[in-house]
Amino acid sequence: MGFLTGLFWFVVVIIASMAAGWMFRAAAVGISPRGVAKELKTAPLTASFGMLMILIYIVVAVFAPLIAPFSETAIVGREYQPWDSVHLLGTDNLGRDMLSRLIYAARNTVGIAFVTTALAFGVGSILGLLAATVGGWLDQILSRTVDVLMAIPALIFALLLLTIFGTSVINMILVIALIDSTRVFRLARAVAMNIVVMDYVEAAKLRGEGLWRLITREILPNAMAPLVAEFGLRFCFVFLTISALSFLGLGMQPPTADWGSMVKDNATLISFGDITPLLPAGAIALLTVSVNFVVDWQLQRASGLKE
């Protein structure tokens, strides 16, 4: 019977999510200006559900102090209290309110992951496009450097760099951005390689366009679709890397709340059949899935793919 109940709840959750997505899309179409509304109408339910979830995460992250019932770091009870009316999700290994920490962690983890991904993309795609456009020795130097960096396993390399430079939020952002930008570089270069041979790029070169304009006007817009798709995936990887590093104790430092370290801190509870430590993991999973829903939709639009 356990299986059937599980199946029942699974179906309920799926239907509820789709309904939420549908309502969100209807509401969004209603309140946005006409041009945007037209685009939104084309969104599949998965994408509107994804947008709704991302919006909720953003609201939670921005208004964390208002929403959270307790402070991020205050010890407000005994350790490992069960769920009750005061501490809705119980307390953690030090007696801090689980729900409040979950809410504050959205701010830290999501914010840092976003900054890191954006940085990795900025550096990786600009260098990648540059390498493809200029070619020659610049391409060789950049590509070989990236090959060297990519030859070292990512997590071990990150651990190594963090041990050398010390663990701080800034260092973590820089290290992860550096490692991830090599992956972005490879993709951006490969995509741009196919674009620089097009006649319109040749026409622009013959027109005497400068390098910057060549990249931003002629190449980048046509490389956008795969880069956007990669952004979604990369965001999730960065997110997981941060959580992994935090889990290993080299990421976010206590007492800052973070979903990765929250899983680690409360992992003991799993052996007692308590699902509380899985909630932060669920939060990570939900966000990554949501981001990918939206990215898939955008990718389909940008590349003109039909189902």
Positions touching other proteins (CB under 8 A) are 198-200, 202-209, 217-218, 221-222, 224, 306
Q: Which residues of 231-261 are buried (b: 16+ CB within 10 A; e: fewer)?
A: bbbbbbbbbbbbbbbbbeebbbeeebbbbbb
Identity of residue 198:
M
Q: Across the strands, what pairs with 91?
A: 97
**What is Dmax (Cα atoms) for the chain?**
73
Residue number, 42 or 140, with CB nearest to other proteins: 42
Residue number, 198 or 270, with CB nearest to other proteins: 198
Nearest-approach distance from CB 90 to other proteins, in angstroms: 50
Alpha carbons 43 and 49: distance in angstroms, whole number:
10
Nearest-approach distance from CB 276 to other proteins, in angstroms: 47
Nearest-approach distance from CB 194 to other proteins, in angstroms: 11
SS3 of residue 91 by DSSP = strand
Residue number, 139 or 209, with CB nearest to other proteins: 209
Nearest-approach distance from CB 304 to other proteins, in angstroms: 8
Nearest-approach distance from CB 52 to other proteins, in angstroms: 25
Residue number, 273 or 307, with CB nearest to other proteins: 307
Residue number, 23 or 198, with CB nearest to other proteins: 198
Place of tokens 């709840």: 9
Compute and round to an integer the Cα radius of gyration of the chain.
23
Residue 188 burial (CB count, 10 A)? 27
